[in-house]
C-alpha cells in the first residue's frame, strides 16, 4: 500500500471511530433524556416527536442532502466525499443502534447533558480533524468559514445550533430540555475545539528591550524558538526600537518570562493568545485545515 493510500485509509478509520462515538453518545444520552443538540439531528428529533414513525437518522439523511449539494459546489469533491461518508455512517448508525437496543434515560438529566455533550464533542472533533463533517450545521459552519475564516469552527457551529435549540423549545414547549441542550452544546463545542485546535494553546510575545541581541539568543538557543525582529519607534522619544516577535507553547511562558527578566528587568513584554500557529515547530499546513 502506498503512503497516500495508507494515509487515506487511516483517515477513514478515524472518521469511522468518530461516527461510532457520535451514534453512541446520541442514542445513549441525548435522545432518551429529551435533549437536543441542535442542527439537522435536532430538527429530525422534532419531526420524530411529532411523527414517531419517522426515524431520526433517515430524516437527518434526507435533510442533509440539499446542504451536501451546496457544499459540493463550494467546498469541492475531496472534502465532501469524506463528509458524505461520515454523514452516512452517523445517520444509518443512529437508526441501526436504536433498533438493536433501547437506552433508558438517566436519573440525572444534567449528568446526561454533560457526558452526552462530551462524547458528541469528542466524536465531532475527531471527524473535523480529518477534514470531514457529519453534515447539517457542521457543514453549514464550514460554508460560513469560507467567508469568515478567522472564526473558530466550534463557535460558528454553536451559534447555528443555538438557533435550532431555541426553535426546538418553542415547538415542543420543553424549556428545561432546551436548557439541558444548551449545557450539552457548550460542552460539545469546547471538546470539539479542544480536539481540533489542541489543548496546549500557543502564545505570541512582543518584547521591547534595550538588550535585543542577548534576549534573542536566549530565546533561540534556550527555548529553541524562532524570533522575528520588527522595526518600531518610540511614540514619545521618537527613537528607533527593535521589537522581538516570538511564537511559543503555553508551557514555555515561565521560561520565556524568566529569561527576559534576568537579561533586562526593564523590558516591556506583551503576551497574547494565539488560536492556531502553523509552521516549523508547530502544526503543519494542510489543504483541508478548518
- Residue 243: its pLDDT value, please? 93
- Residue 62: its pLDDT value, please? 92
128-132, 162-166, 186-190, 249-253: segment of lowest average pLDDT: 249-253
Mean pLDDT of the chain: 83
The percentage of the chain sitting over the pLDDT mark of 90, rounded to a whole number, equals: 35
- Residue 215: its pLDDT value, please? 93
The model's pTM is 0.72
91 is written with which cell numbers? Answer: 445517520
Q: Are 199 and 242 in contact (CB under 8 A)?
A: no
Higher pLDDT, 42 or 275: 42
pLDDT over threshold 80, residue 145: no
- Residue 120: its pLDDT value, please? 94
pLDDT, mean of residues 164-171: 77
The C-alpha atoms of residue 198 and residue 250 are separated, in whole angstroms, by 11
User: What string of DSSP letters covers 68-94?
Assistant: HHHHHHHH-HHHHHHHHHHHHHHHHHH
pLDDT tens for residues 5-55? 898 899 999 999 999 999 999 999 998 988 888 888 888 988 887 788 989
- Residue 59: its pLDDT value, please? 93
pLDDT tens for residues 235-253? 888 888 899 999 887 778 8
The full set of domain ranges for the chain reads 3-197, 202-274
The C-alpha atoms of residue 275 and residue 201 are separated, in whole angstroms, by 7
- For domain 202-274, the question of CATH label 3.30.70.120 is answered with yes
The two counts, helices (H) then strands (E), for the chain are 10, 4
Name, in order, each residue with C-beta under 8 angstroms of 93's C-beta and a sequence gap of 6 or more. 19, 20, 22, 23, 57
Higher pLDDT, 58 or 196: 58
256 is written with which cell numbers? Answer: 520565556
pLDDT bin (cut points 50, 70, 90) of residue 280 is: low
pLDDT tens for residues 93-126? 999 999 999 999 998 989 999 999 999 999 999 9
pLDDT bin (cut points 50, 70, 90) of residue 152 is: low
Amino acid at each position: 500500500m502506498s503512503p497516500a493510500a495508507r494515509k487515506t485509509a487511516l483517515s477513514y478509520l478515524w472518521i469511522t471511530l468518530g461516527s461510532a462515538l457520535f451514534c453512541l453518545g446520541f442514542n445513549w444520552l441525548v435522545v432518551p433524556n429529551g435533549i437536543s443538540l441542535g442542527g439537522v439531528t435536532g430538527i429530525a428529533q422534532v419531526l420524530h416527536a411529532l411523527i414517531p414513525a419517522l426515524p431520526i437518522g433517515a430524516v437527518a439523511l434526507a435533510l442533509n442532502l440539499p446542504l451536501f449539494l451546496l457544499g459540493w459546489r463550494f467546498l469541492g469533491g475531496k472534502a465532501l466525499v469524506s463528509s458524505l461518508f461520515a454523514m452516512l455512517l452517523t445517520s444509518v448508525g443512529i437508526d441501526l443502534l436504536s433498533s438493536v437496543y433501547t437506552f433508558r434515560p438517566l436519573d440525572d438529566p444534567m449528568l446526561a447533558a454533560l457526558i452526552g455533550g462530551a462524547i458528541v464533542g469528542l466524536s465531532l472533533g475527531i471527524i473535523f480533524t480529518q477534514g470531514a463533517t457529519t453534515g447539517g450545521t457542521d457543514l453549514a459552519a464550514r460554508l460560513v468559514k469560507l467567508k469568515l475564516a478567522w472564526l473558530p469552527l466550534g463557535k460558528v457551529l454553536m451559534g447555528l445550533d443555538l438557533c435550532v435549540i431555541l426553535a426546538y423549545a418553542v415547538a415542543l414547549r420543553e424549556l428545561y430540555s432546551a436548557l439541558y441542550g444548551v449545557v450539552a452544546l457548550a460542552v460539545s463545542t469546547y471538546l470539539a475545539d479542544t480536539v481540533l485546535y489542541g489543548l496546549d494553546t500557543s502564545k505570541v510575545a512582543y518584547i521591547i528591550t534595550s538588550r535585543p541581541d542577548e534576549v534573542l539568543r536566549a530565546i533561540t538557543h534556550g527555548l529553541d524558538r524562532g524570533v522575528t525582529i520588527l522595526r518600531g519607534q518610540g511614540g514619545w522619544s521618537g527613537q528607533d526600537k527593535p521589537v522581538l516577535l516570538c511564537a511559543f507553547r503555553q508551557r514555555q511562558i515561565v521560561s520565556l518570562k524568566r529569561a527576559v527578566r534576568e537579561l533586562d528587568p526593564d523590558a516591556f513584554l506583551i503576551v497574547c493568545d494565539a488560536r492556531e500557529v502553523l509552521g516549523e515547530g508547530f502544526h503543519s499546513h494542510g489543504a483541508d485545515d478548518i
